[in-house]
Amino acid sequence: MPALTQMELLHELEPVVATELDRHLSVTRGWMPHEYVPWSQGRDFDGLMEGEAWAPEQSRIDTVGQTALVVNLLTEDNLPSYHREIHSALGSDGAWGQWIGQWTAEEARHSIAIRDYLVVTRAVDPEALERERMVHMTAGFNSAYELDVFHSVAYVSFQELATRISHRNTGKHTADPVCEQLLARVALDENLHMIFYRNLLIATLNRCPDQTMSAITDVVRSFEMPGAGIEGFGRRALSIAMAGIYDLRIHHDEILVPVLRACDIWNFEGLGPEGEKAREELAELMADIDKRATIFDEKRAAINARRAARAE
Ligand SMILES: [Fe+2]
Ligand SMILES: [Fe+2]
């Protein structure tokens, strides 16, 4: 099969997008962000309202939980940049445009609800949050894949699942039932987004096996969360990993493996030499990530054991 151009592929995928959009709309349930926020806990802040300024002891969430919440929210905040990237990479003809509109509106609900929760419950410093939002959104987000359709579809398939897991585990970590309920609701949306893009990835793989296989391998090799540009991301990601909210083991077992399995990547037939080469490299990458995940798990266990011994 001759390689398709980006435009040809987008045109070919349009009916798939239409079908997936219908499926998405039939299973998604709209929800009201305001219902997930405990407004009765709110009170005025300093400044115009002359209320009480935020202070660290007001937060009921531990430091790691706060870090994860802020990283998750800043990531959601950068939606205008993602919208621009996806719109530029995938276009807006017919069902594509409808999907992108629907997806954007759903994503915006996430940042609205999470910010309302954080500010009302005084879970994090609202001034620091606002300053960070300005910096992060001003920097924006540029996909590493130069608007290539194959890479973009592969990236969002993994990324939506990664946000699902990261919201879900952040909610559990906070041990605040209200926060957990909200983030579980957000995670449900992320799961549906993942299914949409993953099904599109499968369709892409069936139409253009070699190009899609190479793109999947590239994305697994260089995967970075969209929030990687947040200041101090390395340090924050490490504390999130140390708390088991999102670490390499989770990344391997709960994000990469399920998406690859759904694509039936290891049994997929119809690859040419280029695709076969990419699949072999993917197998090596996966083995390497698995190995590094085990090393991290062991290091973390040793550090935690030392900390526990010191605490006694
Ligand atoms: Fe989201
Ligand atoms: Fe999403």
| 3 state DSSP class of 109 | helix
107: CA distance to ligand 2 center in Å?
6
190: CA distance to ligand 2 center in Å?
4
| 3 state DSSP class of 50 | coil
Distance from chain centroid for Cα 77: 12
Instruction: Indicate the helix (H) or strand (E) that contains 148.
Output: none
pLDDT at residue 227 tops 90: no
**Quick one: which ligand is closest to 159's CA?**
2
Query: How would residue 133 be classed by pLDDT, with cut points 50, 70 and 90?
Result: very high
The tokens of 198 are what?
Answer: 């993953």
Q: Among 18, 51, 37, 7, which Cα is nearest to 196's?
A: 18
The Cα 214–Cα 211 span in angstroms is 5
154: CA distance to ligand 2 center in Å?
14
**Quick one: which ligand is closest to 160's CA?**
2
DSSP string covering 225-288, please? Answer: -GGGGSTTHHHHHHHHHHTTSS-HHHIIIIIIHHHHHHTTTTT-----HHHHHHHHHHHHHHHH
pLDDT at residue 279 tops 80: yes
> What does the DSSP 8-state code read for residue 41?
G
Distances (CA, A) of 292 to 268, 269, 273, 284: 26, 29, 29, 12
The Cα 161–Cα 197 span in angstroms is 10
DSSP string covering 191-229, please? Answer: HHHHHHHHHHHHHHHHHSHHHHHHHHHHHHHH---GGGG
83: CA distance to ligand 1 center in Å?
12
98: CA distance to ligand 1 center in Å?
18
**Quick one: which ligand is closest to 190's CA?**
2
190: CA distance to ligand 1 center in Å?
6
At 193 the pLDDT is 97
C-beta of residue 37 within 8 angstroms of C-beta of residue 113: yes
Instruction: Indicate the helix (H) or strand (E) that contains 123.
Output: none
pLDDT: which is higher, 68 or 4 = 68
pLDDT tens figures, 251-273: 999 999 999 999 999 999 999 99
pLDDT: which is higher, 141 or 130 = 130
Q: Which residues of 176-214 are buried (b: 16+ CB within 10 A; e: fewer)?
A: bebbbebbebbbbbbbbbbbbbbbbbbbbbebbbbbbbb
**% of the chain surpassing 90 pLDDT:** 84
110: CA distance to ligand 1 center in Å?
5
pLDDT tens figures, 14-56: 999 999 999 999 999 899 999 999 999 999 999 999 999 999 9
**Quick one: which ligand is closest to 77's CA?**
1
At 1 the pLDDT is 56
112: CA distance to ligand 2 center in Å?
14
Query: How would residue 87 be classed by pLDDT, with cut points 50, 70 and 90?
Result: confident
Mean pLDDT of the 187-212 span: 97
305: CA distance to ligand 1 center in Å?
35
Mean pLDDT of the 66-72 span: 97
187: CA distance to ligand 1 center in Å?
8
| 3 state DSSP class of 94 | coil
At 90 the pLDDT is 83
Mean pLDDT of the 177-197 span: 98
pLDDT tens figures, 285-311: 999 999 999 999 999 999 999 999 998
The amino acid that residue 253 corresponds to is D
268: CA distance to ligand 2 center in Å?
27
